[in-house]
Structure 1
Amino acid sequence: MAIGNWGKTIKFEVTSNKVLTFSDFKRTVSGRWKSHPIVGKKPKGEFAGPDASSVTFDIVLAAEQGVKPRATITTLEKAAETGVVDYLYIGGRKVGSGKMALENISETWDEIWKGGELVKAKCSLTFSEYN
């Protein structure tokens, strides 16, 4: 069953052969405010428009769940380093109003077997809205 995707780069799903889901999903939405100093009074606030939203979540890449950790990490690293932007969908619905850029990947290599084969890793992904 499909859970979501970020373009064609990564697909979150649960099937009989593969489990690739996410946890600790957090989204930040904010506005941009300017502060104008006023002599003898409190500063005057001015709303300057919406700020780009951001999304963070963790994924576990485990060979025992039908995922190729090293290949998936390489794909995500390439997307981050080349500036890929695409829509992020969760449950068939777009997250945010625009495309998302993968700004940051933090990797923890949890299990490495003989010959240096990476069999389990955790990645924290940070996306930001791109306009």
Structure 2
Amino acid sequence: MFEVSENKTLTYNEFQRTTEPRWFEHKVLHDKPELEFVGAGTDDISFKILLRAELGINPEKQMAKIREFARKGKKALFIRGNKPISANYWVIKRAVEVHKVIDNQGNILTMEVDLNLMEYPRETEDETKKKTTSSVKKASTAKASKQLGTITITVKSVHIRSGPGVNNKVLGYAMKNDKLKVTGKKNGWYALGGGKYISANSAYSSFKGA
């Protein structure tokens, strides 16, 4: 989580994004090869993070979180200015740490981290339908959970929060055209189940009763 405040400064610089579509080369005797467009490729992004104790950051603890995220293959949206830079997720492809300043007790005071992230495409609508159908079949003998209806997100992204109010923690984002099951409504917020809530404002989504 990037943060710039009176107590902490954790941000990045030298941000670069690379887009490489996929092309197949058909070799032609005595002539230039013919190119065939195969499809979109996954984007890469890279940037540097400077972890400094004097800026309210514990470099070792912060780097431990980054290593865990990478080693467990976790994926997440990349948020900048309260909005994701892409509808797809991102995973850590490579993390290189340079220990710049170390005190006489062996504590790292300054660390520079080079991060390389790779785009992780979200499931297509067809894949989502297949999984949903499979889940319905498996749960056919189980008691159906209460459902008021379904909402379809109509804007680029909407916060999913831990409670019915803007002061609650952001747990994630719903993206445009996502369909979410609604189990209840409270104080102008839809309950999504599992302690997750999303605004019931019609400017963000359309509702269809069960």
Give the TM interval when normalised to the shorter protein: 0.7 to 0.9
Counterpart of 2:70? 80
Is 89-98 or 19-28 further displaced after alignment? 89-98
What TM-score do you get using the length of structure 1 for normalisation?
A: 0.87
Instruction: Count residues in correspondence.
Output: 121
Runs of 4+ in 1 over 6 A off after TM superposition: none
C-alpha separation in 1, matches of 2:53 and 2:31: 62
C-alpha separation in 2, matches of 1:127 and 1:21: 16
Q: Which runs of 5+ in 2 are unaligned?
A: 122-210
- 1:78-106 CA deviation, whole Å, 9 max, x = no partner? 11111011111111222233100011111
Counterpart of 1:100? 90
Compare the two structures and name the one with the higher strand fraction.
1
Give the partner amino acid of 1:104.
R
Q: Write out aligned runs for 1:10-25 (5 A).
A: 11-25=1-15
Q: Which runs of 5+ in 1 are unaligned?
A: 1-10
Aligned match for 1:44, one of 34, 43, 46: 34
Indicate conservation of the 8 Å contact 1:14/1:20, yes or no.
yes
C-alpha separation in 2, matches of 1:12 and 1:82: 21
Counterpart of 2:189? none
Give the partner amino acid of 1:124.
D
Indicate conservation of the 8 Å contact 1:98/1:129, yes or no.
yes
C-alpha separation in 1, matches of 2:30 and 2:38: 24
Q: Which has the higher contact order (CA 8 A, sep 6+)?
A: 1
C-alpha separation in 2, matches of 1:124 and 1:96: 21
Aligned match for 2:44, one of 25, 29, 54: 54
Is 112-121 or 66-75 further displaced after alignment? 112-121
TM-superposed CA distance for 1:37, in Å, is 2.0
State yes or no: 1:125 paired with 2:111.
no
C-alpha separation in 1, matches of 2:42 and 2:86: 9
Pair member with larger Rg: 2
| Alignment root-mean-square deviation, CA | 1.2
